[in-house]
Amino acid sequence: MSDRMISRRAVMLGGAGALALGRSTSDAWAQSGLAGRTIKIIYPFAAGSTGDAIARIVSEPLSRLVSASIIVENRTGAGGRIGAQAVVNSAPDGTTLLLATLPLISLYQHSYDRVGYDSFVDFQPISQVALFDVALVTGPQTKINTIQELIDWCKKNPTLANYGSPGAGGIGHLVALMFAQSAKLDLKHISYRGPSLAVNDVVAGQIPFASVPSGDCIALHKAGAVRMVAVSGKQRLALVPDVPTLIETGIPIDGSAWYAMYAPAKTPATIVNALSLAIKEVLSMTSVRERLEGLALVPTGTSPEELDRIGHAGSDLWGPIVKLSGFKPDQ
């Protein structure tokens, strides 16, 4: 079963189990020792991005549910690895958590010789939070409206054929690499500290296009400030039904990904269980689901065991793709 299939099953199970969650969450939290403490969620990319919004959307009701103060900290750099390393080095007591993207857990071990941590040893899975797709987005100066027009433009303007993503070796970078290989393009990658920074440069005309989480450009696409020419999932997004998938355009790429919550390794099971149940309950709230869906996300919520399987499945899927892409850390 694929990670995406497991996640969608978790969505269906979430609704069925919502009535039982309240009491079990309360009981588990009482045993965790976290009530009244301050919990820090580190999101290792810049503020203003979809992932940053997820952290803040989830932390508000989570704080009320568990009677604990929750703060969100953006600790950027090295494609998210600096923030991830900060969590690895934190006390395993449930007060420092990581909102990770798929690359931090399942990709970077294949992309870099020295990541700084072992995804499956140094982190304790808590719960998957949401699924997302990557979008290829162009700026108004290029007047590019379709994938074919983007391909033609890059071939006609090889010295200007640059693109941005939220970090070398990440999902956005690899989707763009696979796109370039499929279209036989020679593109130069520019790494940013977050997707919103890359999109801002697309709007300003500093780069012709970017490969970023779809939620970071939908509002600008609808406003006409940028053009989403394709998304990486198997299906079109309900929020932008006019945007085709890469598969529909003839580019054989399915680049769906996810956000998930992790704690440092050796965090006690009582704490991990309490956090997992609380996050799943928050994700079952209608108001939270609507806000996340408004960012082109699919809210999920899983057990720690399910997230561990999802992380390994992502590694098994993307490892060969990274190898075939020819990615080198200095790109």
- Total count of domains within the chain: 2
Give 12 or 258, the one with higher predicted confidence. 258
Average pLDDT over residues 175-190: 94
Residue 283: what pLDDT? 97
Give 323 or 87, the one with higher predicted confidence. 87
Q: What is the pLDDT of residues 142-157, one digit of tens each?
A: 999 999 999 999 999 9
Prediction pTM value: 0.82
Q: Where residue 21 falls among pLDDT bands split at 50, 70, 90?
A: very low
For residue 241, being part of any structural domain is answered with no
Q: Where residue 23 falls among pLDDT bands split at 50, 70, 90?
A: low
Residue 32: what pLDDT? 85
Q: Do residue 127 and residue 8 come from a single domain?
A: yes
Q: What is the pLDDT of residues 222-253, one digit of tens each?
A: 999 999 999 999 899 999 999 999 999 999 98
Q: Where residue 25 falls among pLDDT bands split at 50, 70, 90?
A: confident
Q: Do residue 112 and residue 144 come from a single domain?
A: no
Average pLDDT over residues 205-210: 97
Sheet holding 209-213, edge to edge: 188-191, 162-165, 209-213, 134-138, 227-231
Q: Do residue 284 and residue 319 come from a single domain?
A: yes
Q: Do residue 199 and residue 177 come from a single domain?
A: yes
Decide which of 179, 214, 231 is a domain's last residue.
231
For residue 198, being part of any structural domain is answered with yes
Q: Where residue 89 falls among pLDDT bands split at 50, 70, 90?
A: very high
Q: Where residue 88 falls among pLDDT bands split at 50, 70, 90?
A: very high
DSSP string of 163-194, one letter each residue: EEESSTTSHHHHHHHHHHHHHT---EEEE-SS
For residue 85, being part of any structural domain is answered with yes
Q: What is the pLDDT of residues 264-286, one digit of tens each?
A: 999 999 999 999 999 999 999 99
Instruction: Residue 48: give the domain boundaries.
Output: 3-131+258-325
For residue 250, being part of any structural domain is answered with no
Q: Do residue 8 and residue 124 come from a single domain?
A: yes
Q: Do residue 16 and residue 92 come from a single domain?
A: yes
What CATH number corresponds to the domain at position 286?
3.40.190.150
Residue 19: what pLDDT? 38
Residue 167: what pLDDT? 82
For residue 248, being part of any structural domain is answered with no
Q: Where are the alpha helices (DSSP H) in the chain?
A: 3-32, 50-66, 81-88, 102, 108-111, 147-156, 171-183, 195-204, 218-223, 269-283, 286-293, 304-325
Q: Do residue 54 and residue 73 come from a single domain?
A: yes
Q: Do residue 166 and residue 19 come from a single domain?
A: no
